Chain A
Amino acid sequence: MTEEQKLEQFQARIDAEEKIEPKDWMPEEYRKALIRQMSQHAHSEVIGMQPEGNWALRAPTLRAKKILLAKIQDEGGHGLYLYSATETLGIDRDTMIEQLHEGKAKYSSVFNYPTLNWADIGAIGWLVDGAAIVNQISLQRTSFGSYSRAMIRICKEESFHQRQGYEIMTTMMNGTPEQKEMAQDAMNRWWAPALMMFGPPDNDSAHSKQSLKWKIKRESNDVLRQRFIDKTIDQAHFIGLEIPDKNIRFNKETEHWETSPLDWNEFKQVINGNGPCNHQRLNHHIKYHNEGNWVREAALAFAENEMKLETTTN
């Protein structure tokens, strides 16, 4: 079969909604695009543990602390599901970590913002996980089997994340004037970064078109963003939070909320390393990855010894 025929057959499988499995033939560009998107997704889950970890020891109650720890542990798990799904494409985990440390692989720019008060934990769960859910539900139907299965598993766990965040916001909005102010302040700072999580507008998104054709992504950035906006504005109003955008307007004809354009310059700045916490996030990851090396070495040495013992006693 010629390369061209293979490509045609591949596209026909995609069009027929078949899932592509790791050992199937696939165009090199498809593999590359998946590795880029999936490893970025995995890194985001893991780096995303840091802004929340910042409050693990300062949670206001034992209940809140236990919930937050369980949520952060889930995010670590999500990272691992995704790394393992990406490894089926023939890249090993060390290489992915290396690419993260060298700045060659990105993670979601939203995690480069600081968590300044307890309400930020509420805002992250409700808005950041909320946005992630909209994206991930859509990705359950991605054409690559390992990715799709990881997304299904992740989606099952996410709705608790969003609800615990919304519960924090609700509690604070029912609290003292200072607590309400903290909640609104967190809302003001996280709204735009959460909307930017869906990526640049469709007309200047570099990889979008081919991704949609290959069904790596199923819906465009703007479609997903709008879905999130429509859900979230009502949830905000329900507990008395204001949207930090003076131009929001419900369009009765389209039945969608309209919002101001986002500051994509800021997005570019942050994704290219100039956000408030980029250095901190990356350095933290590098430091603990390197400091953990002796544990991995010791575990391997122990395993080798065990093997020797087994073979000599048998």
Chain B
Amino acid sequence: MDNKQNQLPLWEVFIQGKNGNPHRHAGSIHASDKNMALQNARDIYTRRGEGRSIWVVKSDNIIASTLDEEGEFFDTTDDKVYRHPTFYKVPEGVKNM
């Protein structure tokens, strides 16, 4: 155990604010297991009815891309302008498209 004073493992918290909305990252908490993680997340991030559903994920399990590789990582989309509606010419007079 590398935790010097047992700070407990780190978890990331995602909260769904309203029915139909996506879960959004709120921050992180420390907890020893999944039940404590859910309870701590509730107590820390939803004291005013900010959420109706919570996801917790161990921080170690999150893989993130970095800004340094942003260019090459996302540039595969750069030459696919035809994915945007503005790429196409619609004959004049055609409505509601």
CA distance A87 to B27 in the complex (A): 10
Task: Kindly list chain B residues whose C-beta atoms are within 8 Å of the C-beta of A94.
Answer: 3-5, 7
Task: Kindly list chain A residues whose C-beta atoms are within 8 Å of the C-beta of B1.
Answer: 300
- Known pairs A157-B48, A299-B33; A293 contacts B67 (CB<8 A): no
Q: Interface stretch among A36-44, A77-85, A178-186, A250-258?
A: A77-85
**Cβ of A300 and Cβ of B32 under 8 Å apart?**
yes
CA distance A25 to B68 in the complex (A): 8
Interface residues of A in 272-296 (CB under 8 A from B): 289, 293, 296
Q: Looking at chain B's contact residues, is the secondary structure mostly helix, strand, loop, or mixed?
A: loop
Q: Give the size category of B's interface with A.
A: 20 to 34
Q: What is the interface of chain A, defined by CB distance below 8 A to chain B?
A: 21, 23-25, 70, 73-74, 77, 80-81, 84-85, 87, 92-95, 97-98, 149-150, 153, 157, 289, 293, 296-297, 299-300, 302-303, 306
Of the candidates A80, A84, A92, the one having the most CB atoms from chain B within 10 angstroms of its own CB is: A84
- Given known contacts A77-B47, A306-B33, what 7 new A-B pairs fall within 8 Å (CB)? A73-B47, A74-B47, A81-B27, A92-B7, A93-B7, A98-B4, A302-B33
- Known pairs A85-B27, A94-B4; A303 contacts B67 (CB<8 A): no
Cβ of B76 under 8 Å from chain A: no
Q: Looking at chain A's contact residues, is the secondary structure mostly helix, strand, loop, or mixed?
A: helix
Q: Closest approach, in angstroms, between the C-beta of B15 and any C-beta of chain A?
A: 11
Cβ of B54 under 8 Å from chain A: no
**Cβ of A23 and Cβ of B33 under 8 Å apart?**
no
Q: Closest approach, in angstroms, between the C-beta of A66 and any C-beta of chain B?
A: 13
Q: What is the interface of chain B, defined by CB distance below 8 A to chain A?
A: 1, 3-8, 10, 26-30, 32-33, 36, 43-44, 47-48, 64, 66-68
- Known pairs A23-B67, A302-B33; A87 contacts B28 (CB<8 A): yes
CA distance A299 to B39 in the complex (A): 14
